[in-house]
Amino acid sequence: MKKAIYSLLLGLLVGSVSAQEHAIYSQYQVFQNLINPAVAGFDNEFLLLANARHSWAGFPGAPRSYTFLYTGPVGDKLGLGGSLFTEYLGDQIASRIQGIYSFRFRIDRTQVGLGLTTEFVRRRLNSEVLTNPLIDTRDQLLNGGFDGQRLFTSSFGAHILYDNTMFFSLVLPSAISAQLDEIPVEDPQSETGAGLRYFILQLGGVLNVYQHNFKLLPSIAVRSIRNVPFQVDLNLQGRFLDDKLITGITYRPNSKGSIAFLIGTQYNRFNLFYTYDVAFGPFQQYSTGSHEFSLAYIIKRKKPPVPIQNTNIYQQAQ
């Protein structure tokens, strides 16, 4: 019985590290900085962002994650940033410190951003597990779980904006990964070309309805992440009253389907967004859905040495 518990705990620990090296968000369609390093400084703005997500709310041990992120331009070509991420999943705690770097340039009517991240990831078991009477505190393998598995990872991204109306985005999450501890686990990069097998791909655009002063932003995202089911997101976002009202919907046809509703607003330099996710599968009866909040503060860069056209696809002139 005890060996089964040890195997289960360590299996969850190792499996979660492999699957969750790259965090999952619903509000990536609003703040692409959450998943793509190439967007850092791309729109010539400084961004301070706090994000909180509670998945499968109401289910014991459901995931809760918190992200604090900063990105901004450095001169006319570079972007820098960083983020802190913490996730609680059952008796596991994951932490990530991330550095973000980007380079952007223009070719005629096309702006291109290239970026990468360097990340230190630590995932460990909560010390409260020791209060379980079935746990043998002398077990060396289990103690390794309390000390935590440590990884160094690096992700790559590209973002292309054409004529301020169409965009293409590609992320290779955790394309490089190195284990920094001796906890026994199958090397996630042992597969040939494994680092290039997983990706997040987005394609979308902006449809301006000038006579009614609003915009529609349709997009599609395809996500293939290690140990996570293949997923397709069909997104539609609407922006009304000069972005005073922002709504959106995401439909995911995979795994019996799910849907997410987005609502948000912009007031001066502040942005506030809320997303509610609900699944169509039988598991939904045990959960009240998933909730995600973002609060952002955006500062426009003042008087750049060389004027740069506003490339924020979500804030184009009407």
Ramachandran quadrant class, 209 (left: phi over 0; alpha: psi -120 to 50; beta: rest):
beta
pLDDT band of residue 273 (cuts 50, 70, 90) is very high
The one-letter amino acid at 27: Q
127: helix, strand or coil: helix
Phi, psi of 119 (to 5 degrees): -135, 135
pLDDT at 43 over 60: yes
169: helix, strand or coil: strand
**What is the pLDDT at residue 4?**
40
Q: Where are the domains of the chain?
A: 2-208+282-300
* pLDDT tens digit sequence for 208-222: 888 888 999 999 999
Q: Cα separation of 204 and 235, whole Å?
A: 9
Element containing residue 11 per DSSP (H, E): helix 2-19
Instruction: Kindly report the pTM of this predicted structure.
Output: 0.81
Class of domain 2-208+282-300: mainly beta
* pLDDT tens digit sequence for 14-30: 444 343 456 779 999 89
**What is the pLDDT at residue 149?**
82
* pLDDT tens digit sequence for 143-192: 555 667 888 999 999 999 999 899 999 999 988 888 877 665 554 444 44
Residue matched to tokens 């360097």: 118
Q: How far is CA 37 from the centre of its chain?
A: 10
Between 6 and 226, whose confidence is greater? 226
**What is the pLDDT at residue 22?**
61
**What is the pLDDT at residue 3?**
42
pLDDT band of residue 128 (cuts 50, 70, 90) is low
Dump strand ranges (E) for the chain. Answer: 45-54, 64-74, 78-89, 92-107, 110-125, 149-162, 166-179, 199-205, 207-209, 214-224, 231-240, 245-252, 258-267, 270-279, 290-300
Tell me the CA distances in angstroms from 63 to 52, 208, 246, 293, one per residue in order: 11, 38, 27, 14
Q: Cα separation of 125 and 216, whole Å?
A: 44
Please report the sign of the dihedral spanned by the C-alpha atoms of residue 29, residue 34, residue 35, residue 37.
positive
